[in-house]
Amino acid sequence: MSTTVYVPGDAAALALGADDVAAAIAINAAKSGLKMRIVRNGSRGLFWLEPLVEVDTGQGRIAYGPVTASDVPGLFAANFAAGGKHRLRLGNIETVPYLANQQRVTMRRVGVIDPRSLEEYLAHGGGKGLALARKLAPAAIVQQVTDSGLRGRGGAAFPAGIKWKTVLGTASAQKYIVCNADEGDSGTFADRMLMEGDPYCLIEGMAIAGLAVGATKGYIYVRSEYPHAVAALNAALDAAGDWLGDFHIEVRKAAGAYVCGEETALLESIEGKRGIVRSKPPLPAISGLFGQPTVINNVITLASVPDILAQGAAFYHDLGVGRSRGTLPFQLAGNIKFGGLIEVPFGCTLRELLYDYGGGSRSGRPLRTVQVGGPLGAYLPESQFDTVLDYEAFAAIGAVLGHGGIVAFDDTVDMAKQARYAMKFCALESCGKCTPCRIGSTRGVEVIDRIRAGAPEQIPLLRDLCDTMTLGSMCAMGSMTPYPVLSALNHFPEDFQ
Amino acid sequence: MISTLNAIFGKHLHQSGSLLPILHDIQHELGYVPDEAVPLIAKELNLSRAEVHGVITYYHHFRQTPPAKHIVYVCCAEACQANGSEALAEHAAARLQHGDIAMEPVYCLGLCSIGPAIQIDETTLHARVTPERFDSLIAALGERS
């Protein structure tokens, strides 16, 4: 009988040597005459343990990690195929507290199944949502999504059901479903993990959206920095056969423009143009891709839909707090000891994620700040670490949850430098359509340079500039760059002296 | 070049908004998008040369000149900054000043828990890269090529 061994093919695992580990396992298995089936699964998201090798022992999946290629002969000597004792043995992976304490819904199959196998996807509960949706009227599908309380996971947190309802109610011969997989925010990787580890979940969500609004064509716009995700999606689509019926999906590779994560710039880019932000209205739901009604949602939003259909809107709505319903896959990144993916219902605190899961800084120095929500998110000081992870609670302190990325910094960080970087990044990535963003960002870098060189009288000018950018920019790029800048200035004024 | 372009056009012309897929394929085949290709793409897609040029120059990913033999992308975004990517980028820029390996900054490879991260050429990723490790990766790259 052959033993199934899991060696992640996730980009993060690859970056830590997973291919070498898989090759070493294959060679050693051949040498010792053992029959082994090596599955390249996604990552469980416990990155300090990658490459994380799991063995299906029949009594749960026993994990070993972090494994390097040079550890492999030792694993064979320890008979790891039967779950043998070894210094890297972690026991049943499902019982590791970091994972056991989470409540994985959207990400529950990531790291578990073979992402290339539709059969395994269906065997692990996939496909039920689509099967149910096929029996429902479009308005009933939209109602389920509305009732679940699902809000856009890309960062704007707009209710998905309302967006879908608008598209459903707009008559057109051709409508589109567009998945925004331009996950450009530093500190975020949930979209990447899902696309690489459970691509069929996203594909199913898009097909359900198609049924809900009457669209037959979908696009997944994936950033070019994610070649492994592009490959995983294309492989999954090629192997999907007739599972999707007459819904057709095309993967489109982006070309390295951060602003294309803004939905209208993204639509321009798919149309083959420069990714320049459009004026709204009209909303994409009314006039979107190629001028047609378009549902445009983030990866995690669409990937949450299959379970909402399969398990019912109430199941999803029962999780979370306030107006933030369901779960969010938080991504713990930067200078953190145990970085990774933590999917929990809304409502726990930042401190719990940073210390109970994250274990504090990787450097061993005190954490000084975290930036939540990507390059356009605010820097939070330690005094705000007890903020509840909920869209409204974050808005109340002048911050954003965004896509759930949390980047930790220790006490060596220079906040004036981080503020300068925020302006610099905006200058680099601005699409150039509106003046506050295009010119304001460059002036912002200059003003911060003067402040850092010892001109505190320029601080009111910086505040004034941020005000102009916030109120005058066309999209989040310019209007939210002041979040990191002002939060750094307000919470860490000593760094600007 | 003409036959390469024609094959790429044939593959993509049925797609709506096919300019980006065409440019990606050209860069994949030739390493960059040559100036001579611009009028041909424009004619094929019924666009002006200015429109094609505008798209090529708008996106960071597209190159208008032949690339170095290898490109090392160093992530310079916040999560990697928190783990010392700035020092790594400075080290990399100094180390690769001369020779056939170029360094380019990249803003997030999605490896934010295990930075600093780098990518070598199109798909090879490395995490927790110290300056010393960087040097050994570059040395290995030199031996391979």
**pLDDT for A65:** 96
Q: Among A100, A130, A151, give the residue marking a domain's end.
A: A100
**pLDDT for B142:** 78
Residues A18 and A51 in one domain: yes
Rg of chain B in Å (alpha carbons)? 18
Smallest CA–CA distance from A196 into chain B, residue: B110
The CATH number of residue A306's host domain is 3.40.50.11540
CA distance to partner chain A, nearest, from residue B60 (Å): 5
- Give a yes or no: residue A420 inside a domain: yes
Closest CA to A116 of A38, A189, A198: A198
Of B82, B106, B125, the CB nearest to A11: B125
CA distance to partner chain B, nearest, from residue A123 (Å): 29
Asked if the B70-144 domain carries CATH number 3.40.30.10, the reply is yes
Residues A379 and A444 in one domain: no
Residues A29 and A156 in one domain: no
- Residues B55-78 have a mean pLDDT of 97
**pLDDT for B97:** 84
Confidence of residue B99 (pLDDT cuts 50, 70, 90): confident
Smallest CA–CA distance from B19 into chain A, residue: A272
Q: Among A286, A302, A317, give the residue marking a domain's end.
A: A317
Q: Which domain, by its residues, includes A378? A: 324-410
CB-based contact A274:A162 (threshold 8 Å): no
Show the tokens assigned to A210: 């198609």
Residues of chain B with C-beta less than 8 angstroms from the C-beta of A11: 109-111, 125
CA distance to partner chain A, nearest, from residue B109 (Å): 6
> Using the beta-carbon criterion (under 8 Å), do B110 and A336 form an inter-chain contact?
no
Residues A189 and A220 in one domain: yes
CA distance to partner chain A, nearest, from residue B97 (Å): 23
> Using the beta-carbon criterion (under 8 Å), do B113 and A185 form an inter-chain contact?
no
The CATH number of residue A87's host domain is 3.40.30.10
> Using the beta-carbon criterion (under 8 Å), do A334 and B17 form an inter-chain contact?
no
* Residue from A174, A183, A186 to probe the interface with B (highest B Cβ count within 10 Å): A186
Residues A421 and A384 in one domain: no
| Residue B22: Cβ within 10 Å count | 23
CB-based contact A154:A202 (threshold 8 Å): no
Query: With a cut of 0.90, is the ipTM above it?
Result: yes
Residues A229 and A334 in one domain: no
Chain B contact present for A221, CB below 8 A:
no
| Segment holding A77, helix H or strand E | helix A72-77
> What is d(CA A241, CA A288) in angstroms, rounded to the nearest whole number?
29
CA distance to partner chain B, nearest, from residue A29 (Å): 26
Where do the structural domains in chain B lie, given as residue ranges? 2-58, 70-144
Q: Is the pLDDT of residue B144 over 80?
A: no
Confidence of residue B123 (pLDDT cuts 50, 70, 90): confident
Of B16, B58, B112, the CB nearest to A407: B112
Q: With the CA atoms of A370, A373, A374 and A378 taken in that order, what torsion angle do they form, in degrees rounded to the nearest 10?
A: -60
- Give a yes or no: residue A228 inside a domain: yes
Q: Among A410, A426, A456, give the residue marking a domain's end.
A: A410
- Give a yes or no: residue A111 inside a domain: no
Count of domains in chain A?
4
* Residue from A49, A225, A300 to probe the interface with B (highest B Cβ count within 10 Å): A225
Query: How far are the Cα atoms of A96, A110, A337 from residue A62, in angstroms, in the given order?
Result: 10, 17, 23
Residues A350 and A293 in one domain: no
Contacts (Cβ under 8 Å, ≥6 apart) of A97: none
Low-confidence ranges of chain A (pLDDT < 70): none
Confidence of residue B145 (pLDDT cuts 50, 70, 90): low
CB-based contact A462:A445 (threshold 8 Å): no
Tallying the residues shown for chain B, one arrives at 145
pLDDT over 70, % of chain B: 98
Q: How far apart are the first and last CA of chain B?
A: 25
Exposure b/e, A144-177, CB count within 10 A at least 16 = b:
bbbbbbbbbbbbebebbbebbbbbbebebeebbb
Residues A141 and A250 in one domain: yes
> Using the beta-carbon criterion (under 8 Å), do B110 and A12 form an inter-chain contact?
yes
A4 CB burial (10 A radius; 0-12, 13-18, 19+): middle
Smallest CA–CA distance from A10 into chain B, residue: B111
Residues A217 and A133 in one domain: yes
Closest CA to A48 of A108, A94, A105, A88: A88
* Residue from A407, A428, A429 to probe the interface with B (highest B Cβ count within 10 Å): A407
**pLDDT for A82:** 95
Smallest CA–CA distance from A253 into chain B, residue: B21
CA distance to partner chain A, nearest, from residue B19 (Å): 5
pTM of this structure: 0.97
- Give a yes or no: residue A426 inside a domain: yes
